[in-house]
Amino acid sequence: MNFSKLPLTKEMLSTLESIGYNSMTPIQAEALPLIIDGKDVIAQAKTGSGKTAAFGIGILNRLDVKKFRVQSLVLCPTRELADQVAKELRRIARFKHNIKILILCGGESFGRQLGSLEHHAHIIVGTPGRVLKHLNKESLDLSNLETLVLDEADRMLDMGFIEEIQSVLEFTPKKRQTLLFSATYDDEIMQISEQVQTNALSIKTGSIESENKIAEYFYETNNKQETLIKVFTKYKPKNVIVFTNTKIEAKELADTLQKVKIDAIAIHGDLEQYERNDVLVQFANSSCPILVATDVAARGIDIKELSMVVNFDLPHGRETYTHRIGRTGRAGLEGIAVTLYETSEQEKVDEYKNEKIIFASSDTLQKVTSFEMKPEFVTLVVEGGKKDKLRAGDLLGALTGDAGLKGSSIGKIDIYDRQSYVAIQRDLIEEAHKKLNQGKIKGRNFAVWIL
């Protein structure tokens, strides 16, 4: 686990020691030998795992200071992360003089960035939208690029940057090293890896492939709605899918929860496609914590980090039960599955009994009258989308530029043909709506409203 085991210069090792890098973290120990060897790597790594140093040491180690061309590009989802990455790279870069690292992000003066680029840089750290803008303006040249890093790739996908990333790739040499770091490791991430990497070596420092960790509870009750609220009170889940057996019941339950200040939204077979989009976007981007759904309507819904699943109605068979609860407890996280049943359904419930399920009475759950569930974000709708050539970077730039929001207060961005959805921190939604309505996006006026 010692950095001295790696083929690094004495100057690099001395610098690492001086900044407190005494031994490698697991992600560094597994990734660095491969990165130094020039391999493509796809790594699961969360914030605080030491991933920046993992790719930073690798790209700085191979850098040719005398070659005043962009040799490495690090793409990040937000300006704040780009600032953090650049700061860390500069700390490590002390081992050698004259290494130039430049940040290219939206919300900063484009003209000032043009001036900085004229003096060249060895490493560019930036957001996809602003990097692409410089590439299209021919103020940035990536023809000499040796290493491309996609940092927090899952967050970039959530924010709708896939098109920008693909466009940036068109400006890079086909023969390059590509490093992909992501906190999650799902099918979408693997598809991106296949598109942008060559024979990528996979690194997982956690038990990501382990069986879902789900705590299963069955509560006997004479009042399901009251017990459901007690369940929310006890476990305080961040987000929940509540399954009902009929679409009428789904709608009625969502309405009932809203009346007691628990934000809920229903999805069922009677919704038009645009209404379904509105519902799914709000649940996926944390603008509504509770989704009430039927089995048919829930098909195709895949939320990466789902805290809880509730069977408001007993499912039709063991297979349906397994499928429902399997939506939580993914990617190494712990999940909770709660099933509500009435005394008259005891015979059906007996079929589910096993050593994992905990059976209890709803009387064991405490009633709290003042309990509320409010969303972390609220969704802003922009009446413009792919057909209007709107990209995630344009929306992010408008919000972090003229509107003055921090990138960390902006959540998932979804862009459809004619509409775009942006999750905004709840306490900033009115301010964001007002400024975006009064300002321009990509030099044009678009109608903006709160969903």
Q: What is the CATH number of the domain that holds 441?
A: 3.30.70.330
Give 275 or 209, the one with higher predicted confidence.
275
Q: Both 406 and 301 in a single domain?
A: no
Number of domains in the chain: 3
pLDDT for position 208: 38
Q: 306: helix, coil or strand?
A: coil
Task: Tell me the CA distances in angstroms from 390 to 79, 107, 111, one per residue in order.
Answer: 19, 17, 22
For residues 73 and 217, give the distance between their C-alpha atoms in angstroms, rounded to a whole number: 48
**E-state strands within 231-297:** 240-243, 264-267, 290-293
For residue 171, pLDDT beyond 90: yes
Contact between 172 and 148 under an 8 Å Cβ cutoff? The reply is: yes
Selection from 10-24, 47-61, 73-87, 138-152 with the highest mean pLDDT: 138-152
Q: Both 247 and 339 in a single domain?
A: yes
Q: Which of 364, 396, 420 lies at the terminal end of a domain, its last residue?
A: 364
Domain, as residue range, for 402: 377-450
Q: Both 330 and 385 in a single domain?
A: no
Q: Both 195 and 221 in a single domain?
A: no
Q: Which of 177, 204, 231 lies at the terminal end of a domain, its last residue?
A: 204
Q: Both 53 and 138 in a single domain?
A: yes
For residue 184, pLDDT beyond 70: yes
Q: Is residue 371 part of a domain?
A: no
Mean pLDDT of 370-390: 92
Q: Both 200 and 219 in a single domain?
A: no
Share of the chain above pLDDT 70, in %: 97
Q: Which of 170, 204, 238 lies at the terminal end of a domain, its last residue?
A: 204
Q: Both 356 and 417 in a single domain?
A: no
Q: Both 41 and 159 in a single domain?
A: yes
Q: In the predicted model, what is the mean pLDDT of the chain?
A: 90
Q: Give DSSP secondary structure letters for 357-381.
A: PEEEEGGGSPP-TT--B--SEEEEE
**Structure tokens, 194:** 């296949």
Residue labelled with tokens 């956690």: 206
Q: Is residue 34 part of a domain?
A: yes
Q: Both 52 and 177 in a single domain?
A: yes
Q: Both 241 and 307 in a single domain?
A: yes
Residue 238: phi, psi to the nearest 5? Answer: -75, -40
Q: Is residue 296 part of a domain?
A: yes
Work out the pLDDT band at 210, boundaries 50, 70, 90. very low
Phi and psi based region of residue 411 (left: phi greater than 0; alpha: psi -120 to 50; beta: remaining) = beta
For residues 429 and 433, give the distance between their C-alpha atoms in angstroms, rounded to a whole number: 6
Question: What's the length of the chain?
Answer: 451
Q: Is residue 106 part of a domain?
A: yes
Q: Both 65 and 176 in a single domain?
A: yes
Q: Is residue 163 part of a domain?
A: yes
Q: Is residue 369 part of a domain?
A: no
Q: What is the CATH number of the domain that holds 249?
A: 3.40.50.300
Backbone CA torsion sign across 388, 389, 391, 397: negative
Q: Is residue 372 part of a domain?
A: no
Q: Both 340 and 432 in a single domain?
A: no
